[in-house]
Structure 1
Amino acid sequence: MTDQTSDDGRRAELTANLRQVRDRIERACVAAGRPPEAVTLTAVTKTYPASDVLLLAGLGVLDVAENKDQEAAAKAAEARAAGVRLRWHFVGQLQRNKAKSVATYADVIESVDSLRLTTALDRAVAAVRDEPLEVLVQVSLDGDPDRGGAAGDDLWRVTDAVASSDGLRLGGLMAVAPLGWEAGRAFERLAELAGRLTTAHPGATTVSAGMSGDLEAAVLHGATHVRIGTSLLGMRNSLR
């Protein structure tokens, strides 16, 4: 099989998957009484090659999420070399010593969950960027410290710190439905927190929630961005 044949086959696969995902988003929006354009599809491309990122860009998917700095930096560089402008989201748990690297290519960091990370990112932005970096504060809906996210009063301390920093712009909230929780319950709670946030910070309207298995519940409860990996790109190879 030639490389061109392989590319054509993968493009056809991604095209079909994308159509199905967009149909799901549209149906979810109709059910929620929301316009389909109110929800942005973010492709979670971790473990997949940069070639898939470029194929998705050709299909109109320009928001891309990664969770490891080394992999994300390499893919962002390859996309730039190809002349493709994407909106890069970093969604993994971010170590403070990686803040400067991530700040060089990310457009949005969705996993800020502590005051120390907020400070590190603010300093990193001052060193490597001329424009503010958009931040979503990750919410821990169940308070589990192993899964990342800020809970209780810590959530509001972090959002206020991001909003008052010079180099960061508070975009909104991100959350993952906790294991064992019904998705509707999780995203209803997130919607309550998002409403409280916009009361204090009216511009922080982004709500990143919902993945391949629960995007409908997320859209029903006001998600503005859904993060889709498996339904779009297929099952990941666990050996990668």
Structure 2
Amino acid sequence: MTDRKDELAANLARVESRIAAACAAAGRGRDEVTLIVVTKTYPADDVRILSGLGVRHVAENRDQDAAPKAAECADLSLAWHFVGQLQTNKVRSVVGYADFVQSVDRVRLVTSLSREAVRAGREIGCLIQVAFDAGDSGRGERGGVAPGGVAELAELIARSEGLRLGGLMTVAPLTGEYAGRERAAFERLVDLSTDLRRTYPAANMVSAGMSADLEQAVAAGATHVRVGSAVLGVRPGLG
């Protein structure tokens, strides 16, 4: 456990240094960017170590892994972010522990989240996942709604009981006009956020950037970066 703590502390320090350097290069304060550590596939022991190292935001993408882990770590002062594609049959469970759902991308999901949040007596922060690779279907390969669908979802979230419109999220697209152009995609997300905040000033979260491209996200104006492997390492067999 001591070796793992030392490993995570060293990795976390490197990521913090990267974020600080990116903020400095962009003329931004370090406090303008929140690190969310993506703990998917890693055990509750790692979450507990990270909490002891000062991490306050963690993210998961599969409810079947996240629910027991969140329960095991319920004594820690952590904000849990759900970042994976969310099926409506998992919403009740996710609402039980998630403080934020960053992957809201369709009307039916908003309706389900609102119903379960009210039932649980909770308020869930919702980020609209924007897909810059959305084709004719209006959905991206990895979830998300096309930019043109943001306004409709934002209005629905804003008037849904139990939900709070937090802002926007994206994953750098692998196909389409923004493939290989992470910073351009992130800058487009920030433009969409600026438009959104004209109507909903409190929806100021811009979640973008992961281990490989967090610098581009910070340069573009992201407020939250989601970093997994750079902090936790790569799990055997997961590439």
Q: Which interval holds the TM-score relative to the shorter structure?
A: over 0.9
Counterparts in 2 of 1:88-167, with a 5 A limit? Answer: 88-128=80-120, 130-144=121-135, 145=139, 146-167=141-162
Q: Is the CA contact 1:141–1:190 (under 8 Å) kept in the aligned structure 2?
A: no
Q: Determine what percentage of the aligned residue pairs are the same residue.
A: 52
Q: Is the 8 A contact 1:122 1:167 kept in 2?
A: yes
Runs of 5+ unmatched residues, structure 2: none
The CA deviation at 1:152 is: 3.6
Aligned pairs, number: 231
Q: How far apart are residue 167 of structure 1 and its match?
A: 1.0
CA distance in 2, matches of 1:229, 1:38: 20
Per the alignment, residue 222 of structure 1 pairs with 221
Alignment gaps of 5+ in structure 1: 1-6
Return the alpha-carbon distance in structure 2 between the equivalents of residues 27 and 107 of structure 1. 29
Aligned amino acid, residue 202 of structure 2? G
Q: Say whether residues 1:76 and 2:76 are aligned partners.
A: no
- What residue is the counterpart of 2:14 in the other structure? 20
Q: Deviations over 1:77-119 (max 9, x none)?
A: 1102xx2121000000000111111001000000000011000
Over aligned residue pairs, what C-alpha RMSD do you find? 1.3
Q: Whole-Å Cα distance in 2 between the matches of residues 203 and 88 of structure 1?
A: 20
Counterpart-to-counterpart distance in 1, 2:210 and 2:35: 10
Q: Which structure features the higher share of helix residues?
A: 1
After superposition, the C-alpha distances for 1:143-166 in whole angstroms (9 at most, x for unaligned) are 153221111432211111101111
Residue 3 of structure 1 is matched in structure 2 by none
Inter-CA distance 153–239: structure 2 relative to 1 (3 Å threshold): closer
Instruction: Please point out which of 172, 178, 181 is paired with 1:177.
Output: 172
The question of 1:231 aligning with 2:230 is answered yes
Q: State the match for 1:36 in structure 2.
A: 30
> TM-score of the superposition, structure 1-length normalised?
0.93
CA distance in 2, matches of 1:100, 1:156: 25
In the alignment, is residue 209 of structure 1 matched against residue 203 of structure 2? Answer: no
TM-score (normalised: structure 2): 0.94
